[in-house]
Structure 1
Amino acid sequence: MTVSISTVHVLVDDPDAALAFYRDTLGLTVRNEVAHDGFRWIVLYAPSQPEIQIVLSQPHAGRSQQDGDTIAALLAKGELRPLHFRTDDLDATFEKIAATPGAEVLQEPVSQPWGARDAAVRDPAGNFLRIEQA
């Protein structure tokens, strides 16, 4: 039996700002966009891993008002679990992210004691991302 990751969901408060960040800054490709009941889901993938989908969705999509409010508050505080990305050129990726409106630099590229060289940022929605040198 083989098990693998197929989809990762990323909650965002502004789908347009998230799309600009993940598509234009990180270079992900849009596979699909779905609008339903006033919300949008945007499905992206990395060209190097087309089998793994990243779905951008809003906190209130498909949830009760109370649950959506709770998740939106956690998103606003930056308290959701981090996403980890890998790049073949950390410095160039970091510079592009640092120049992106709405992105926040938390840690410039540095060699970590555990052997990785990485940087930490927040996307325009406040999601915590670590970007590691491949």
Structure 2
Amino acid sequence: MEHTRELSISASYLPHTDAEASLAFYRDLLGFEVRMDVGGGQLRWITMGPPGQEDTAVVLHPVLSDDGITEAEHAALLAIIAKGSYFGINLATPVLDVVFARLVEGGADVVQEPMDQDYGIRDAAVRDPAGNQIRLQQLPGREGVER
């Protein structure tokens, strides 16, 4: 059975701990466009995505403490997010070193400098303002190709 056309990825969710800092990271450093910004203050849900990819989005959402979790669980979740070991996203780019340099210049927390991996890709990693790990991948044969 062919199922590949029945489903597509619409949105992925990443927590934010500072809505304005996350907005600046994704909009100003990564170049994402804001599609929706609902709520107010720290209780904001910000839907963003790369220009030209309207069917795919990242939703930045607050880490709520009233979702049936205890204060201790909420604190533990915030600590895990800050380490970059719970949430994350992989992004592909034909110009890894250019994007990485822009992120470093913008103050991103570097996890891994760009490097060639044994499994055939060149990648790097940073953390967004909340601590979510953002892996940047340059696929083979796409080196320096501008879109």
TM-score above 0.5? yes
Tell which deviates more after alignment, 64-73 or 23-32.
64-73
Structure 1 residue runs of 4+, over 6 Å off? none
Q: Aligned residue for 2:132? A: 127
Distance 1:38 1:20 in 2: 14
Flag the structure with larger Rg. Answer: 2
Structure 2 gap ranges (5+) = 140-147
Q: Which structure shows the higher strand fraction?
A: 1
Residue 120 of structure 1, CA deviation: 1.1
Question: Which digits, 9 at most, give the CA deviation of each residue in 1:69-93, with x for residues without a partner?
Answer: 3422221232213310011211110
Matched pairs, number = 133
Distance 2:90 2:38 in 1: 25
Cα shift readout 1:44-70 (whole Å, capped 9, x = no counterpart): 011142101110011117624525434
TM-score computed with the length of structure 2 as normaliser: 0.81
How does the TM-score come out when normalised to structure 1?
0.89
Q: CA deviation at 1:37?
A: 9.0
Deviates more, 1:109-118 or 1:57-66: 57-66
Give the Cα–Cα distance (whole angstroms) in 2 for the partners of residues 36 and 14 of structure 1: 12
| Cα distance in 1 for residues equivalent to 2:17 and 2:30 | 18
Kindly report which structure 2 residues correspond to 1:1-134, keeping only aligned pairs within 5 A, or say none: 1=3, 2-35=6-39, 39-60=43-64, 63-64=67-68, 66=70, 67-101=73-107, 103-134=108-139
Runs of 5+ in structure 1 lacking a partner? none
Indicate if the aligned counterparts of 1:60 and 1:69 stay in contact, CA closer than 8 A: no
Q: What CA distance in whole angstroms lies between the structure 2 residues aligned with 1:46 and 1:110?
A: 24
Output the aligned Cα RMSD: 2.0
